[in-house]
Homo-oligomer: A and B are copies of this chain.
Amino acid sequence: MLVEGGGGRGRGRALQAGLREAVRDGRLGAGTQLPSSRELAADLGVSRGLVTDAYAQLTAEGYLTSRQGAGTWVADLRQGPEPPTPPAFAADDRGGPDDLRPGLPDLALFPRAAWSAAHRRVMATLPHRALGYPDPRGLPELRAALAALLGRRRGVAADPDQVMVTAGVAQAHTLVGLALHARGERRTAVEDPGSPEHTALLAATGLTAVPVPVDGEGLSVTALEATGVRSVVVTPCHQFPSGVACSAARRAALADWARDRGGVVVEDDYDGDFRYDRQPMGALQGLAPGHVVYTGSASKSLAPGLRLGWLVGPRDLVAEAAQIKRTMDLGHSVTEQAALADFLVSGAYDRQLRRCQRLYRARRDALVAALSRHAPGAEVSGIAAGLHAIVTLPERYGPEPRFLAAAARAGVAVRPLSDYRTAARPAGEGDDGRVRLVVGYAHLPPEAVARAVRLLVQGPVRDARRLSGEAGEAGR
């Protein structure tokens, strides 16, 4: 056994660590008698006290047993076999150069200097008391700043008392889901097509997701009524993934549904900050603040890695969600909250939004231009807002499975709209042999968008040519 380390304390620690490890991995088998402290000290060339200390410590911890004057033995830890190794976690691998999958902002736009400055100011000014266990609803300064921001930019009717800070939109939905479950709810409606994450998350809170179809005006409120549920998760300003903006009539119908049933609408404003050709559509929450829980985050405007989100809702539901957060994680990081509050109040957040808005609009335009150049006949929809669009390619690119295989061969990562459907496709869609894709473009500079689109649509066409060529050869 090697016993190194600077001073006596270091050598003592090393001896103990070595003994622990040897007992744990079976090199020192259960029941083995250890040499006397005098012998071991002589063997290792260390002081006897160091060995006695180590024996005493490991005996107290349960690795060794001893009887006064009779010696020291290895305890029987009876380590069982390691359980089978579970499948490895794949970190999020999106964001490569030819990756057109939706959901990521451009991480290179994260305002590092400004964020760092906000953090530095916080460390210099935050009172000591604020470093204790936080208010589970969030830091008062941040909740006030968010109420102002969301009122101003998103038409949200928010008093700071109705605002709560969460670890991203995911946690906001988790807390609301758990609160609804505690109220006795067992089912919640979700949009179809929609985000598979909504369904998985609701299941984790004990709620079964009931898919409700989305049409050209948004979620079908008639179909929603027919389900009999009392809560629904929606993306009214820019439906995910279809890109449809909920019509005024549908908004009114949804608000009426909530009032009539005493229902709860959870609004996921996942990309509401970005609208390119006119001013952003105000949040649904403003229309029925007593029935809508608005949720949003800094994941698209700053970075998903910050895990900073928020919800605004009726006071009773916010209090229930805050109580659950208090129990489950005791509140959100104070330093991160204070940094975001500083960032909002200083105007840096607005500057960041304006900068992203400008750049993302150019990328959207690059997508449209590249499609019109490389894939004549392609239709693009849902491009008035957000970070993704629906691209429908003409029949000659289909059928979908062959197109997707060719895209993969061309090295372009892309997701079809069918990935986001829970129920059967509506009549017409997919039957027509056309390929429908959910294309994220915001994370790529314009030239990269153009390149990825070219690779995406030229691969399949080349393949098709080769296939028809082969068929011709085979026919000879």
Which chain A residues have a beta carbon within 8 Å of chain B's beta carbons? 12-13, 16-17, 20-21, 24, 57-63, 65, 75, 77-80, 82-87, 89, 91-92, 94-95, 104, 107-108, 110, 112-113, 115-116, 119-120, 123-124, 128-137, 151-152, 155, 157, 166-168, 170-171, 174, 178, 200-201, 204, 245, 247-248, 251-252, 255-256, 259, 278-279, 281-282, 284, 286-290, 303-308, 314-316, 319-320, 322, 324, 326-336
* CB-CB under 8 A for A123 and B131, given A86-B319, A286-B20: no
> In the complex, which of the residues A13, A112, A201, A278 has the most CB atoms of chain B within 10 Å of its own CB atom?
A112
- Return chain B residues, CB-CB under 8 Å to A322: 89
The answer to whether B129 touches A95, judged by C-beta atoms less than 8 angstroms apart, is yes
Q: Which of B80, B115, B152, B200 contacts A327 (CB 8 A)?
A: B200
If A131-B304, A131-B305, A134-B305 are given as contacts, then 9 extra A-B residue pairs at C-beta distance below 8 Å, sorted by A number, are: A57-B278, A83-B316, A85-B315, A87-B319, A92-B133, A112-B123, A116-B123, A119-B120, A306-B335
Are A315 and B82 interface neighbours, CB within 8 A? yes
| Distance between Cα atoms of A278 and B332 in the complex (Å) | 35
Contact B136 A89 (CB under 8 A): yes
Contact A251 B80 (CB under 8 A): no
Q: With A83-B290, A259-B78, A319-B87 as known contacts, state yes or no: A132 contacts B107, CB within 8 Å.
A: yes
The answer to whether B132 touches A282 (Cβ under 8 A) is no
A252 contacts B62, C-beta separation under 8 Å: yes
Q: Do A171 and B328 touch across chains, with their CB atoms under 8 A apart?
A: yes
What residues on B are CB-neighbors of A315 within 8 Å? 82-83, 85-86
- Chain A contact residues, majority secondary structure: helix
Q: A92-B133, A110-B128, A155-B17 are in contact. Are A331 and B319 (CB under 8 A)?
A: no
- Check if B305 sits within 8 Å of A130, measured CB to CB: yes
Cα separation A58 to B308 with both chains bound (whole Å): 29
Known A-B contacts A82-B290, A290-B80, A329-B307; the reply to A57 vs B135 at CB < 8 A is: no
Contacts of A279 in B (CB 8 A): 12-13, 57
Q: Measured between C-beta atoms, what is the minimum distance from A280 to chain B in Å?
A: 9
Q: Which residues of B sit under 8 angstroms from A316, Cβ to Cβ?
A: 83-84, 86
Q: How far is the CB of A354 from chain B (nearest CB, A)?
A: 12
Our pick among B82, B134, B282 for the contact of A61 (Cβ within 8 Å) is: B282
| A204 with B62, Cβ < 8 A, contacts A124-B112, A286-B24, A336-B333 known | no
Query: Do A303 and B131 touch (CB < 8 A)?
Result: yes
Which 6 residue pairs are nearest across A and B when measured between Cβ atoms? A305-B334, A86-B319, A62-B251, A131-B303, A171-B329, A167-B329
Q: How far is the CB of A148 from chain B (nearest CB, A)?
A: 11
Q: Which residues of B contact A24 (CB under 8 A)?
A: 157, 286, 289
* Shortest Cβ distance from residue A342 to the other chain B in the assembled complex, whole angstroms: 13
Candidate in A65, A89, A330 with the most chain B CB atoms within 10 angstroms: A330
Contact B131 A83 (CB under 8 A): no
Partner of A252, one of B75, B284, B331: B75
